Amino acid sequence: MTGAIFAALWVGAWLVYSISYWLTLAISVLAAALLVRLFMIQHDCGHGAFFRRRVINDWVGRIIGVLTLTPYAVWRRSHSTHHATSSNLGKRGIGDIDTLTVREYQALPRGRRLAYRLYRTPLVIFVVGPAFQFLLRNRLPQGIRREDWGNWVSAMGTNIMIILAAGLMIYAIGPEPFLLVHLPIILLASSIGVWLFYVQHQFEDAYWSEDQNWNLQDSALHGSSHYALPQPLRWLTANIGIHHVHHLQSRIPYYRLPQVLRDYPELATFRRLTLWQSFACARLRLWDESRRKLVSFAKARE
């Protein structure tokens, strides 16, 4: 159903293109939200949670990956690493927003401190970064070894299917309408997706720990938020905001997560973050070891 609604919105955005591009952009916002939901379904397929049979999960995940510009097998591997290392200060770097401790930041030379400050600006993290990740970096993912033939097949196979699908669309409606309809959808959806991922782990009281003290359950319950979104947004994001439960047991499909909160009401208030409260997370930049909190650059100076 989600795919059908997305396709209908895409066609609608194209049909009004010749009437008003503002109407196209308005419909593109809705289409981008549906593309985010499709990515979350792909995410559940990667965990083997959406369908009972793995082969169906994998093929649905691969097909959606063409729409989301995300090679399924490559993403599944990196996301699995994210689940196994989230909030571990000794194993940062895969599937994470790069986060330095206050001590690490202060030890950097001036130029690298400036580069980190630039990287952690909202413009880079939520606009430039997502566009780079989905349009360019996913085309030739980093860290794939020569012997990882399965991931190479996934990346190159996805690229070929993207080229074929885009080529057919361009042949059918022309390059300009295709780009002016599809590019805003991709850019907006990627920014929304990165924002969701950000607030799920980059909140003030998030758990971080050194490798020797790191614990998977503490990481899940204390290092992941419960992003309590309004009901329409919960549907569009496939309940990914119930992220602490997802990290605790990733095989629970997204449509079962609200039931977990009903069965265990103490989890409903645990690490709860409202939409309004989440905007304050954008100013958090560094992990303060002494306060055990994520802090802004200004707080770090204090």
Using an 8 Å Cβ cutoff, are 38 and 6 in contact?
yes
Q: Which two tokens stand for residue 125?
A: 């993290």
C-alpha–C-alpha distance, residues 122 and 129, integer Å:
10
Q: What is the pLDDT of residue 155?
A: 87
What's the residue count for the chain?
Answer: 302
Specify the number of domains making up the chain. Answer: 1
Handedness of CA 119, 125, 127, 128 (dihedral sign): positive
Q: Could you give the C-alpha distances from 281 to 30, 149, 194, 204, 220, in angstroms and in order?
A: 25, 39, 13, 7, 19
Q: What is the pLDDT of residue 220?
A: 86
Q: Could you give the C-alpha distances from 10 to 33, 34, 124, 164, in angstroms and in order?
A: 12, 10, 27, 18
Backbone dihedral angles phi then psi of residue 286, each to the nearest 5 degrees? -135, 150
Cα of 92 vs its chain's centroid, Å: 16
Q: Which residue has the tokens 């070894």?
A: 145
Q: What is the pLDDT of residue 146?
A: 62
C-alpha–C-alpha distance, residues 203 and 278, integer Å:
8
**Element housing 272 (H / E):** strand 272-274
Give the up-direction half-sphere exposure of residue 119: CA atoms within 13 A in the CB hemisphere.
13
Q: In angstroms, what is the C-alpha Rg of the chain?
A: 20
pTM: 0.92
One digit per residue, the tens of pLDDT, for the chain of length 302 reads: 889 999 999 999 999 998 999 999 999 999 999 999 999 999 999 999 999 899 999 999 999 999 999 999 889 988 888 888 888 888 887 778 889 999 999 999 999 999 999 999 999 999 999 999 999 988 887 766 666 777 788 888 999 999 999 999 999 999 999 999 999 999 999 999 999 999 999 999 888 888 888 888 888 888 899 999 999 999 999 999 999 999 989 999 999 999 999 999 999 888 899 999 999 999 999 999 888 899 998 888 87
Q: Which two tokens stand for residue 146?
A: 């020569």
C-alpha–C-alpha distance, residues 68 and 245, integer Å:
25
Domain that holds residue 83: 2-301
What 8-state DSSP symbol labels residue 139? G
Q: What is the pLDDT of residue 299?
A: 87
What 8-state DSSP symbol labels residue 209? B
Q: What is the pLDDT of residue 180?
A: 95
C-alpha–C-alpha distance, residues 89 and 98, integer Å:
11
For residue 267, give the amino acid letter. Answer: L
